[in-house]
């Protein structure tokens, strides 16, 4: 079974030379890994440096955000052809830190449609900010999925992945990650929502990843007991040894 481990470097590291070193460490550490697709999403300015490092490696490049147009008067935006010129093949869309800056469901939907049409593989990020006993987070996740995927066609589902990242579990220690029981329940729920949108047979192969304080010590259980297809890793992806241990742990899952 294909698994995924995606590094979300966020706005790190500070310099191109550090990015190159970190990428080299990751590349070296995952050379023998056959069962895991490893993707690194650096800040846009580092793509030029890292694209040169892709040769002879199975590590893929992705970006953390994208515009919804190819060219034009969109100050500060970056388009699909621009990042594809540097061999980026994945894009994170709707990360909670972007939503925090004002990105709403409608903009997320436009970006998803555009990125898919551009031939990129989309990692759609969803996740509730808090959990209350009334279970309102289920409706919240359903809404995020339904609006973001409004323009999605069945034939394009092969280019979609969902990253479920409960915001309250992001950027903490392994002990603060979601319990695998709660994660398993949410993965089933996400599959149910997708099935209702597209039909069961079509969504069986849409990978569902987890993100939120995923570390080497909890990586395997978040996949096996959590029922996920892999992980989206933030802070632990900034230390190549820790990140490659996560990849190895996910690769060892049968």
Catalytic residue numbers read 95, 165
Task: Pick out residues in 197-216 that bind ligand PGA (CB under 6 A).
Answer: 211-214
Nearest distance, CB of residue 95 and ligand PGA, angstroms: 6
Asked if 240 touches ligand PGA (CB under 6 A), the answer is no
How many CB atoms lie under 10 A from the CB of residue 184?
Answer: 17
Q: Tell whether residue 127 is a contact of ligand PGA (CB under 6 A).
A: no
Least Cα distance to 170 among 230, 126, 108 occurs for 126
**Cβ closest to ligand PGA, residue 131 vs residue 192:** 131
**Does 233 engage in binding with ligand PGA (CB under 6 A)?**
yes
Q: Which is nearer to ligand PGA, 100 or 158 (CB)?
A: 100
Shortest reach from residue 201's CB to ligand PGA, in Å = 30
- Tell me how far the alpha carbon of residue 100 is from its chain's centroid: 17
Residue 192, CA distances (Å) to 132, 138, 197, 201, 242 in order: 21, 11, 9, 12, 33
232 binds ligand PGA (CB under 6 A): yes
The reply on whether position 171 binds ligand PGA by CB under 6 A is yes
Let me know if 68 is exposed, middle or buried by CB neighbors in 10 A (0-12, 13-18, 19+).
buried
Q: Given the complex with ligand PGA, which of 174 and 197 has the nearer CB atom?
A: 174
Binder among 37, 128, 144, 165 for ligand PGA (CB under 6 A): 165
CB nearer to ligand PGA: give 163 or 193. 163
Cα separations in angstroms, 121 against 19, 88, 94: 23, 9, 14
Nearest-approach distance from CB 172 to ligand PGA, in angstroms? 6
- Smallest gap from Cβ 85 to ligand PGA, in A, equals 25
The reply on whether position 228 binds ligand PGA by CB under 6 A is no
Element (H, E) at 37: strand 36-41
* Closest residue to ligand PGA, based on beta-carbon distance: 234
Q: Considering only residues 57-76, where is the footprint of ligand PGA by CB under 6 A?
A: none
Interatomic CA distance for residues 236 and 254, integer angstroms: 23
Phi/psi at 242 (5° precision): -65, -45
How far is CA 6 from each of CA 33, 42, 131, 211, rounded to the nearest angstrom? 14, 11, 25, 9
Beta carbons of 228 and 215 less than 8 angstroms apart: no
> Looking at beta carbons only, is 94 or 251 nearer to ligand PGA?
94
Contact residues toward ligand PGA (CB under 6 A) are 8, 165, 170-171, 211-214, 232-236
């Amino acid at each position: 079974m294909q698994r995924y481990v995606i590094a979300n470097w966020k706005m790190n590291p500070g310099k191109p030379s550090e990015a190159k070193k970190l990428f080299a460490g990751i590349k070296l550490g995952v050379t023998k890994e056959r069962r895991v697709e490893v993707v690194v999403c650096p800040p846009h300015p580092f793509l030029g440096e890292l694209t040169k490092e892709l040769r002879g490696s199975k590590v893929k490049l992705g970006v953390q955000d994208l515009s919804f147009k190819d060219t034009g008067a969109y100050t500060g935006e970056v388009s699909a052809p621009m990042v594809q010129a540097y061999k980026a093949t994945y894009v994170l869309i709707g990360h909670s830190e972007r939503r925090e800056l004002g990105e709403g469901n409608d903009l997320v939907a436009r970006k998803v449609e555009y990125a898919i049409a551009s031939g990129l593989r989309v990692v759609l990020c969803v996740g509730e900010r808090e959990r209350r006993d009334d279970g309102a987070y289920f409706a919240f996740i359903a809404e995020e999925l339904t609006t973001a995927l409004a323009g999605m066609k069945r034939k394009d589902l092969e280019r979609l992945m969902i990253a479920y990242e409960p915001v309250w579990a992001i950027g903490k220690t392994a002990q603060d990650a979601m319990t695998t029981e709660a994660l398993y329940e949410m993965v089933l729920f996400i599959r149910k929502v997708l099935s209702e949108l597209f039909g069961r047979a079509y969504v069986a192969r849409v990978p569902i990843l987890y993100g939120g304080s995923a570390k080497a010590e909890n990586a395997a259980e978040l996949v096996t007991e959590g029922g996920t297809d892999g992980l989206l890793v933030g802070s632990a992806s900034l230390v190549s040894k820790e990140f490659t241990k996560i990849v190895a742990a996910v690769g060892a899952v049968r």
